[in-house]
Amino acid sequence: MSRKKRILSGMRPTGKLHLGHYVGALENWVALQGEYDNFHLIADYHVLTTQLDTSDIEANSFEMLKDWLAAGIDPDQSPIFRQSRIKEHAELFLLLSMLITTARLERNPTLKEQVRDMKIENMTYGHLGYPVLQAADIILYKGELVPVGEDQAPHVEIARELARRFNTTFGEVFPEPAPKLTSFARLPGLDGQTKMSKSLDNAILLSDEPDVIHGRLRKAYTDPDKLRRNDPGHPDICLVFTYHRRFNSADTGGIRSGCESGFLGCVDCKRICGEAIAGQLEPFREKRRYYDEHPGDLRTILADGEVRAQQVARETMAQVHEAMGLG
């Protein structure tokens, strides 16, 4: 029997997750369980690359963990752990930082987007080097595949380069990880201008109740040329139709024809879409409520995952030390 390929995937703990997180990453993680050997990282060190306020990190980590579990991540199959509890992440980050130039990091397109979107004037060394920390996260567990959205693919390329550079310089230790993209890698936000983001207030949370979902969708951007109900619409440029395609796929033909003919108005279109989204999220909300009421289960899950991750990390760093002649 062939060995399962290993996957390392993770997110910064920013609290409750939204639909963009689900279609861009989380749904894919769940689908990959069983087929691959999955490790799931709560990337709390990464929070520090753009902010130094740590007061919410623990609470946000647990909120995100609830969403992972509610979406179907099985901690028995897939260890879940906090990055800061496995100190080998920091050590490998340090060693890998010796193998890449600042010029290479400054060419990272995702970094440029962050600097622009977050209006960062004075970048820290940690922020510039966070793709190196991501590379350490991945190859510490000898991850071979990384489920990512298209915006994160450049980071995986840096991880590949660093694994290759280490192997060439010191000896073969790491596989070169490859990105595993999802078909709906980026879900546009409710404003229709950018990807979905809580900070931009254009998101629907996975834990939102139906009335909240409907309220958020009522403000969603639609076809600017469809001003009245009977006006013919152009669904391919309508944000709400994008949501229909993802969350109401069985009815997209009817939605399209109703929009194009003018029979279906935007108010009803948004209502139907909201009902579809709320219906898909009902099992998720029910499971999440269980963890709201059983917080001790969350700590047990993390403690177990961190023991399992620690064992792998120590084995990898022993190989790194031997290859580098560090004793």
Note the pLDDT of residue 111: 81
Structural domain including 168 reads: 6-187+295-324
Q: Quick one: 168 and 264 in the same domain?
A: no
Establish if 1 belongs to a structural domain. no
pLDDT digits (tens, 9 = 90+) for 159-175: 999 999 999 999 999 99
Q: Quick one: 120 and 164 in the same domain?
A: yes
Residue 182 pLDDT > 70:
no
pTM of the predicted model as reported, rounded to 2 decimal places: 0.91
Say how many domains are in the chain. 2
Q: Quick one: 59 and 137 in the same domain?
A: yes
Establish if 196 belongs to a structural domain. no
Establish if 230 belongs to a structural domain. yes
Establish if 194 belongs to a structural domain. no
Query: Residues near 300 by Cβ (< 8 Å), separated by ≥ 6?
Result: none
Q: Quick one: 89 and 149 in the same domain?
A: yes
Half-sphere exposure of 70 (CA within 13 A, CB side): 27
Establish if 235 belongs to a structural domain. yes
Residues, the chain: 327
- Residue 15 φ/ψ region, left for φ over 0, alpha for ψ in the -120 to 50 degree band, beta for the rest: left
- Of the candidates 8, 311, 39, the one whose C-alpha atom is nearest the C-alpha of residue 155 is 8
pLDDT digits (tens, 9 = 90+) for 191-238: 988 889 998 899 999 999 999 999 999 999 888 888 777 888 888 889
CATH number at residue 313: 3.40.50.620
Q: Quick one: 124 and 24 in the same domain?
A: yes
Establish if 137 belongs to a structural domain. yes
Note the pLDDT of residue 167: 98
Q: Quick one: 32 and 181 in the same domain?
A: yes
Q: How confident is the model at residue 2 (pLDDT cuts 50, 70, 90)?
A: low
Note the pLDDT of residue 66: 98
Q: Quick one: 156 and 277 in the same domain?
A: no
Q: Quick one: 81 and 54 in the same domain?
A: yes
Establish if 171 belongs to a structural domain. yes
The packing angle between helices 295-324 and 88-96, to 10°, is 40
Q: How is residue 4 written in tokens?
A: 């399962």
